[in-house]
Chains A and B, each alone.
Chain A
Amino acid sequence: MKLSRRTFLKTSGIATAGIAAATVGPEKFLLWAEEAGLIQATYVPTYCEICFWKCGAIAKVLNGRVVKLEGNPVHGNSRGKLCARGNGGIGLLYDKDRLKSPLINVGKRGEGKYRKASWDEALGVVAEKMKGIKEKYGPEAMAIFTHGTPTDHFLPLLSAYGTPNVGMPSFAQCRGPRDVGYELTFGEGPGSPERVDLVNSKVMVLIGSHLGENMHNSQVQDFAEAIGRGSKLVVVDPRYSIAAGKAQQWLPIRPATDVALLLAWINIIITEGLYDKAYLDQYAEGFAELAQEVSHCTPEWAAKETDLPAAQIVETARMMGHNAPAVTIHPGRHATWYGDDVQRSRAMAILTALLGSWGRPGGMFFATKASLPKGESKPFPEPAKAPLNGGGYPFAGSEGVTQAIRTATITGAPYPIKGWFVSGTNLMKSLPNQQETLDAIAKLDLLVVVDVMPMDLTMMADVILPECSYLERHDALAIGKGKSLSVSLRQPVVKPLHDSQPGWWIAKELAKKLDLGEYFPWNNYEDKIKAQCKTAGVSYDDLKKLGCLTIPNTSTPYITPENPPTFKTASGKIVLYSKELKEKGFDPVPVYVRHPLPPEGFFRLTYGRSAVHTFSRTTNNPALNELYKENEVWINAKKAQALGFSSGDYAVLVNQDGARSNRIRVKATQRIRDDMVYMVHGWGSNPKELSRSGRKGADDQGLITKYAVDPIAGSTGMRVNFVKLQKEA
């Protein structure tokens, strides 16, 4: 289509300030019109929600249409840069497959038959069902599953309703065991963003963490900066990741043997006297017991377990020891691997302590202790029944053990769960063993999902409440706690498209219908934020203009004589040997346990991230889908050849329990061990409404029928399944 300048002038409007009306001009020619001086851009700061890093972004708006997103230079998580996904946020805003109006299920659950409804009707149906559940079973029979900023709206709603049963997959399916392992050792977790002082490090150690592919904006910027400055890199990964490609030392470890490597490293550092004695004397307890417990973990022993050369194990240990304390042992993030994940994280924390890296430049720094007051709100009712989301695990976190709620939903014990309220998480993809999820859903009286896109779980809901995208709404202030305290504003860049609504509005309107309106006393979210700013002494006008305010120098990142560390452990010291764990029946020092290896003909299934996608939620985004349209199964080239597969062929994966995947393209490569396969998580979504990514690629979670529960934290190890490749039928 060619358009003459005249037609363009006739159809386009002139730019308006602030939130502009929906575009009427031909969108393809907006930049041309700008260049010709016909229209002028406006710039609105907000923060990104394509992942959870919450980077400050600035939207360029032409004629009411967002044409570009850029990083906000004053924001610490973006520093003027957005990752591919953040740049591609426009794709979500204008995705034609978005949920466009409230929908009510008219067929059997999961059949995908919906009719459009008004907000009044849809919220009315949800409120009525929720009231019914409360009357019949008590408010605890509703559970909420949530992730990301929607949590700030819907967790208060469900708490006001009276349930304590919250499940965030970010705990039991992700960071949980890591945080618990570090808390047991240092009295606090590594934080999010992790407080890794990469830029000042001399050595960086990544254990199963594929930074770069795992695109956590500012952290990857620091990673590249450290490489540029000559920091040495050690990467433990059975796959030659992008990060491994930059490493001086790549350790292609046999999967599931990381604890053996860690214990050997600890042992070498102790026996060779490479640990920081003064630091440990002052701050740690249990060194002698630790030394005793790991004394048998020789490099030769570990070499056999890990399939790594003993010499390399020794060399890397010395590399750390000689450069301590400027060594960043990256705590990782997605840590739910084999079911002994708290102990593996403990081993990483202990190694960090031995090197004296906690609270030292180049290791892990301390976050600011400053905070922003939240503002008053009406206290929530005290639940009558004890929460069941701890699942009986002694160190389960407050984010809840998702699958414990799922199990209770199936069994009805200790009490029934009859309703699920879900926001910001596609549970079909985040929880292992999809059959259990389906069994639980079958027991529900109500499944309500708030979402922007028609994801797998969303298209099973009884009522679907379409949230507008992050570029069209206010959300809670993002409080960043790094070396300084920062406050960031999310504000609408354009008006909500279609009949979608912001999360805060949905929560508030639903609260009204549940007679809980008093918990949401403000008129709109902007008023609430303004009030909060006033209480905290932060200028809302500055925030609105700049998007982010940093309150500098509120932290003392490193240990100094004036700034001694505090450890919130029982003894106030770093715990090398944990009496607390021992009392509860667990190993006080991590012990290596052999995990089953894949039987003949099978490969261990592992999964990870692509730099251009965030789980399943971005797979259909046109701007990102273009760069990565379906996932591939990575398999060692020799094995692929033996099985008769070449790169680009389609295969079907079948796991040990007979679960079969969609067809998936083979990537035959030297970049992976021959006892495992790898794929990017989040593909193979079912809904036909996803016109680009629906049924494309294979779903790793569909093959994760088995999971290994960590007895300490209740988290689910998900790298315990074995698959074989079959030709497409």
Chain B
Amino acid sequence: MPKYAMVIDQRRCVACMACVVACKNENEVPPDQYRTRVLEMVEGEFPLLRMELRSELCNHCDNPPCVYNCPTGASYKRKEDGIVLLRKNRCVGCKACVAACPYSARYINHEKGFADKCTFCDHRLKEGKEPACVATCIGKSRIFGDMDDPRSPVRVALQGSDATVLLEGAGTKPRVYYIKKFSKPE
């Protein structure tokens, strides 16, 4: 059973937004809604500045508040691989999950009426492809693979790095890891 995860090597991101557009096409995400985004943040005062470029998406948490808060059982965490998914036909669009997610990863698809978010491109994984955003990532900043396989790209990338997760204190146990917050090596 694979244990899927994503690593974001922030040093390598160039804020090109290829991932964002690819994700939207791949998953029919409606206008002005997003399953993933890339934040461009700068701190300091001219000329002493530093920049963080941060890809954000569903963290496929091992302790997922969205799943716990879903009243219909539409949201679930798949046992086999840990991907957090949604049974569309069970979703009533009540927004409980949207409110519960501390990462603003969810939205109600305004064309289709159900809750929607990153699926790790589950349908592509079935075809043996990488997630769309990973496949097109210009900087090879988004890295995907199986945490249980020591040779997988995620394990290789995490080796010897000080990886962090977002909002660690929230106790959600995310499966999206970030290495090197600032793109400039310290």
Contacts and interface: CB of A to CB of B under 8 A. Distances in A.
A597 interface: no
Contacts of A684: none
SS class, residues of chain A in contact with chain B:
mixed
9 closest A-B pairs by beta carbon, nearest first, are A245-B51, A224-B139, A212-B14, A87-B21, A84-B17, A611-B16, A84-B21, A246-B183, A670-B46
B45 to A, nearest CB: 5
Interface stretch (A378-386, A490-498, A539-547, A618-626): A618-626
Interface residues on A, range: 35 or more
Given A69-B25, A223-B14, A228-B11, 15 more contacts: A68-B26, A81-B135, A82-B22, A83-B18, A83-B138, A215-B16, A224-B141, A225-B12, A225-B140, A244-B51, A246-B183, A248-B184, A250-B47, A612-B17, A670-B45
Nearest to B130: A80
A245 B136 contact: no
A212 B26 CA distance: 23
29 contacts: A68-B25, A68-B26, A68-B132, A80-B135, A80-B136, A81-B135, A82-B18, A83-B18, A217-B138, A220-B16, A220-B139, A221-B139, A224-B12, A224-B138, A228-B9, A240-B51, A243-B14, A245-B49, A245-B50, A245-B53, A245-B184, A246-B51, A246-B183, A247-B184, A611-B15, A611-B16, A627-B20, A670-B42, A670-B44
Interface in B49-106: 49-51, 53
A70 B42 contact: no
A249 B172 CA distance: 38
Q: Which residue of A30, A81, A223, A240 has the most chain B CB atoms within 10 A of its CB atom?
A: A81
A83 B18 CA distance: 5
A671 interface: yes
Contacts of A225: 12, 140
Contacts of B31: 622, 626
A302 interface: no
A28 B28 contact: yes
A84 B20 contact: yes
B21 A627 contact: yes
Contacts of A6: none
Contacts, number: 143
A220 B14 contact: yes
B49 A671 contact: yes
B184 A624 contact: no
A87 B16 contact: no
Contacts of B112: 2, 28
B32 interface: yes
B14 A671 contact: no
Interface string B137-173: 1111100000000000000000000000000000000
A673 B46 contact: yes
B25 A90 contact: yes
Given A68-B25, A245-B183, A623-B21, A227 B136 contact: no
A623 B140 contact: no
Nearest to A217: B138
Contacts of A212: 14-16
Interface in A43-102: 67-71, 80-88, 90
Q: Which residue of B28, B42, B47 has the most chain A CB atoms within 10 A of its CB atom?
A: B47
B123 A35 contact: yes
B181 interface: no
Contacts of A83: 16, 18, 138
A611 B21 contact: no
